[in-house]
Each structure stands twice: as C-alpha cells, then as structure tokens.
Chains A and B, each alone.
Chain A
Amino acid sequence: MGVVADAWTWLTTGAHWTGAEGIGARLAEHAYVSGLALLIAGALALPLGLWLGHLGRGGALAVNVSNVGRAVPVFAVLALFMVSPLRNAGYVPTVTALVLFAVPPLLTNAYVGVREVDRAAVRASRGMGMTGGQVFRRVELPLAAPVVTAGIRSAAVQVVATATIAALAGQGGLGRIITAGFALYDTAQVVAGAVLVALLALLVEGLLVLLDRLLVPRPPRT
C-alpha cells in the first residue's frame, strides 16, 4: 500500500496545491471546462431530445446521431483542433470536444425518456382535452424526468472523467497532473491525479442526485 500512502502525501503537500500548475488551478480549469461543456451540450441536446420524444418521430435520427457521436474519439477532435489555427483559442478545443462527447447520452435519454412514457397516460390526457403543450409539460415531462436526469448524471460523470484527455493534447485540467506524473515516473502523482478526477466525478454525481431529489417531483409508484 506504499503507493496509496505516497499519493496521500503528495495530495497533502501544501506546495502542490498552489501556483499556475498547482492542484487548485488545475481543479478550477477542470471544473470550468466540464461545467461549460455540460451546459452547452444540455442546451443543445435536451430540448431536441424531449421535442423528438414528444413528436414520437425522429427516433432513428436521435439514435444515429448518438452512435456517430460516440464513435468520434475525444482525442481525435482535440488533435484536429491542435493542428489547426484554433489551437490558440483558449478552452475552445477542449469544450467543443467534450460537448460532442456529452450530446449523445443526453439526447438518447431525453428522447427515450419521453418516448417510453405510458402511451395510455398520454392518450388519457389528450382525451381530457389537454393541448400538445399541456400533455408535454404536465404528463410526459414529469413521467420522463427520472430517465432524463439519469442521462444528465451519466453524461456529467463521463465528461468529468474524459476532460483529463485534454492533457494529451497539451490542454489544461487535472489530466495535466497525471501526464506530468507519468513523465516523471512518479506513480504517486499519477494516483493522486486519478483520485482527484474520480472524487470530482463522484462529487458531481452526488450533487446532481441531491438536486434531482430537491427539484424533480417523483411520480407516485404504481
């Protein structure tokens, strides 16, 4: 267990936390690019997925977009940015790569969530004279909420874990701690970097679960 103890020592060394290359700065970069990418991806994918689910059409489109999105390696997108003039555009390469990565799970879950709502409930609410918008807001959205929020959580965890890849293309974030440790043959530092990323991912998941409990009304169990 020597490595774990060494990683703990590395993490608790005050000097490793400060400065432009310190844990504090890397953590802030990591949280910033992950959060921004998730917000943009959510703004793009959730309305589209929910709308397609409401229409009940475009399922093939949603699934195909998702599959192609999953097929594009984050590293390749970053590398394409790095060999183009946009490499100097700050966080643009990392955020763009992560948005492309986060859209598929968000889109799929939003679409599937609305699509899988009990058709009988939808038909009943239409029979009661609800308009399309009312059916969506009062019936489909509340019933789809658990699936949609599960998609948001898994996308968030994946984005936080994947943002480390930015370091491979020379961009910032906690991945830099890992690559620096790897270059120095410093296993303790690699473990410390991995632990930081995993903790951040679990923290984000925990916060989202909490938000979910507070904000999203649960449908009564049948």
Chain B
Amino acid sequence: MSPSNCLVANDWICGEYLRTRRGELTDALVQHVGITAASVAIALLVAVPLALLVRARPRLAAPVLGLTTLLYTVPSLAMFSLLLPVFGLSSALVVTGLVLYALTILVRNALAGLEAVPAETREAARGLGYSRGQLLWRVELPLALPVLMAGVRMATVSTVALTTIGSVVGRGGLGNLIEDALPTFFKAQVLAASVLCVLLAVVADLLLLGAQRLLTPWARHRGAPGGA
C-alpha cells in the first residue's frame, strides 16, 4: 500500500492529505482567523458606542435595533455579492459583511449589559464624585462586561461559521477549501476543513470564556443564583 492510496481512493480521513497540504490548510486557517478577529473587533468598536448612544437617547432605540435586525435578514450570500462592486474581491468585503451581522448580537448585548447596571450603583458612584468618563470606565463597563462578553462569544462563534460563506468571493478562509473540493467530491478536504472550522470556533469560545473570567474575577464567587 503506498501512502498516497487514501488520496486516490478518496477516503474521508486521509493522513497523507493532511501531510501534503499542510501549507494550504495553514494559510486558510490564518485567513479564517484574521477575517473573524477583524470582524468581531470592528463590530465591537461600533456596537459599544452605538449602545451608549441608544441609552443616552432612548428614542433612537427602535430605529437602531430595527435596522440591525433587518440587516440580519439579508442573506449572507446576497450581502457578499452586493458589497462586491463597493470593495472588489478583497477581505475587506467579507469583513464588512460579517461586521454588519455581528452588530445585531453585539448592540443588543451591550445595551442589555448597560441597562443591567443598578441605578443605585450609578448614583453611588456619582455621589463619590466620579465624572461621566470615570463612571463609564470604572463602573458601568465593568458591570456590563459579563453580558457583553456573552454577546462577544456568541458573535465570534457565529462569525467563524459565517466566514466560510466568504468563499463566494474567494475570501472564506477554510470555506475556500470546502468550495474548491466540491466539484471533485474531494472528501478528505471537505471533512478536514469542516472539522478545523468547528475546532476553531470552540477554541475561540474557550479563550474568550477564559478572558471573561480574568476580567471579571468578582463574578466567579457569586455562583448559582438563589442560595439563601
């Protein structure tokens, strides 16, 4: 049996494939991570100020939440196709589309997190002489963090999965490998890229959970609700 037999036989699991295409797999993985990370980071930078704006002017809540929800109903396939004339074939196109999707989750959670800050706490901080900026950075954002991070985790996991659709414009990370393998029914490549995709999402989720635990050490001791 020559080692390349599983490639010829088109087996689902093929060690030879993983060995010979390691470079290709790594490149796709790097592109996938880059696109996902950039999308979630930009979405977060847009979502938090947007949530602060909505909280300051509640009249904007309905239009902002309505618009981000409406964006969510635009199919990803169409979103990437429609952004093509604006960006051309580039990663910026895929990142822009993914940012728009991630906003739906992030704006909602940022707002929910900020609204969960008890009014007494805010008042107490103001009574202690905190300025608006200090109140935001030292009291409100830390207290909103658990809910916000829950949103970041959800958005990250969804974005890892959605990045694969970027393959319509050739910028889908591991999705590119899946799409390339379809016409030739290349099983090993579809399976390897799919499994890597899921692993990437799970690892990202666990890393974010770890980051959340580090950032909110006080939340760990509270444990389950109820108790007394």
Contact = CB atoms under 8 A, between A and B. Distances in A.
B89 to A, nearest CB: 12
Contact of A83 (B70, B158, B182): B182
Interface string B185-202: 111001101100110011
A83 to B, nearest CB: 5
B160 interface: yes
Contacts of B187: 83-84
B141 interface: no
Contacts of B201: 70-71
Interface string A156-172: 01101110110111100
Nearest to B200: A71
Nearest to B194: A76
B161 A71 contact: yes
Given A73-B197, A168-B165, A157 B178 contact: no
A164 B157 contact: no
Contacts of A73: 160-162, 164-165, 175, 194, 197-198
Contacts of B85: 187
The prevalent SS among residues of B at the interface is: helix
B147 interface: no
A40 interface: no
Interface in A169-210: 169-170, 174-175, 178-179, 181-182, 187, 190-191, 193-194, 197-198, 201-202
Contacts of B153: 67
Chain A interface size, under 10 / 10 to 19 / 20 to 34 / 35 or more: 35 or more
A42 B151 CA distance: 24
A76 B193 contact: yes
B81 A82 contact: no
B181 interface: yes
Interface in A94-109: none
Interface string A54-96: 0000000000000110111111110110111000000000000
B124 to A, nearest CB: 27
Most central of B84, B182, B201 by chain A CB within 10 Å? B182
B75 interface: yes
A119 interface: yes
9 contacts: A71-B205, A72-B194, A73-B165, A79-B181, A79-B182, A82-B182, A179-B168, A197-B74, A202-B70
Given A197-B75, A198-B70, 18 more contacts: A68-B202, A72-B198, A73-B197, A75-B164, A76-B197, A79-B194, A83-B182, A119-B226, A157-B72, A162-B76, A164-B77, A164-B78, A165-B165, A168-B77, A170-B182, A178-B78, A182-B84, A190-B82
